[in-house]
Amino acid sequence: MAKKSNKKNKNIKNRNLNNNSIPKKAKIDNNMFDILEEDNKKSSNSKIIITLVIVIFLCIISNVYTLFIYKTHPKIKEKVKIVEKYKIPENIVFLGDSITEYYDVNKYFSNNRVVNSGISGNITDDILENMEERVYQYNPSKIFLLIGTNDLTHKKDNKEIISDIEEIIEKIKENRPETKIYVESIYPVNDEDDEKINHNMVSKRKNEDIKEINSQIKKYCEKNNIEYIDLYDKLCDKDGNLKLEYTNEGLHISDEGYKFITKELEKYIK
């Protein structure tokens, strides 16, 4: 009898193991719970998407309505026209050679939109051959032109230099008629016997030639209603040379010189 009882208990234990210890009804309930949970997630995502679409739609309607009111209001409409008329920002271009290139206009005129279009070694011919990239592309409202000193070292006579400077001005007037042109006098040089002076740098430049060119350019500007800025006399010492404190070596301008020049040009930028 004991052997039969043991065999019976063993069979019951095996049946329980084969049954995986989970009733069929419990399995069905779990599957249904997973399906319901998945449906809830989809429903929640759908609600979020619908809410976002509604919010975006309302924002668009609000902006369109505001823009319509803004554009159609009589007083505001007139202001919009004025803004559109002057929508191009003011670009102030400094055009010239190394004296302009070394001029840190972004530092000295930090409250203005300024462009330094100076290139070391340039003569008038270089600018005339590249007006698009040197001038027109910036759509300038104001131009400060300082050129000519390097031409004096290129076997040009004064009349040719004067003619080239006038041609630069005429091309600007033709292609950018709304631009205000300021022509700076060619700066003086200093070729004195001073340890600070580099005579090779000053080269063939003579203040007598510079004064003659400046005189003719001034007459041209007065005749054509163009602003001429005479800095030559203001940069000279009592002997008619570029002041030593205003130059690095007799030609290029020192920090003190640029500070002085800035004070003079600020009158025309404000």
CATH of the domain at 224: 3.40.50.1110
| 8 Å CB contact between 117 and 97 | no
Q: How far is CA 10 from CA 1, 5, 23, 224, in A?
A: 15, 9, 21, 121
Residue 56's pLDDT band, with cuts at 50, 70 and 90, is: confident
| Same domain membership, residue 196 and residue 98 | yes
Answer whether residue 173 shows pLDDT above 80. yes
Q: Is residue 14 part of a domain?
A: no
| Same domain membership, residue 76 and residue 192 | no
pLDDT of residue 49: 72
Answer whether residue 196 shows pLDDT above 70. yes
| Same domain membership, residue 159 and residue 72 | no
| Same domain membership, residue 97 and residue 222 | yes
| Same domain membership, residue 113 and residue 78 | no
| Same domain membership, residue 63 and residue 133 | no
Across all residues in the chain, what is the average pLDDT? 82
State the DSSP H helix or E strand holding residue 115, giving kind and residue range, or none if neither: strand 114-118
Q: How far is CA 87 from CA 92, 172, 191, in A?
A: 15, 21, 48
Q: Is residue 157 part of a domain?
A: yes
Interacting residues of 265 by C-beta distance below 8 A, sequence separation 6+: 144, 182, 229
| Same domain membership, residue 51 and residue 115 | no
| Same domain membership, residue 234 and residue 186 | yes
| Same domain membership, residue 69 and residue 102 | no
Q: Is residue 242 part of a domain?
A: yes
Q: Which of 46, 68, 84 is the last residue of a domain?
A: 84
Alpha-carbon Rg for the chain, nearest whole angstrom, is 41
Answer whether residue 86 shows pLDDT above 60. no
Q: What percent of the chain has pLDDT over 70?
A: 70
Q: Which of 61, 84, 107 is the last residue of a domain?
A: 84
| Same domain membership, residue 79 and residue 96 | no
Q: Is residue 6 part of a domain?
A: no
| Same domain membership, residue 121 and residue 102 | yes
Query: Does residue 214 or residue 17 have the better pLDDT?
Result: 214
Q: Is residue 71 part of a domain?
A: yes
Mean pLDDT, rounded, for 125-147: 96
State the total domains in the chain.
2
Q: Is residue 151 part of a domain?
A: yes
Q: Whole domain around residue 31: which residue ranges?
A: 22-84
Answer whether residue 27 shows pLDDT above 60. no
Answer whether residue 192 shows pLDDT above 90. yes
| Same domain membership, residue 117 and residue 50 | no
Q: Is residue 17 part of a domain?
A: no
Q: In 3D, which of 95, 84, 57 has the Cα closest to residue 171?
A: 95
Q: Which of 54, 84, 114 is the last residue of a domain?
A: 84
Q: Is 187 left (phi over 0), alpha (psi -120 to 50) or beta?
A: beta
Q: Is residue 193 part of a domain?
A: yes
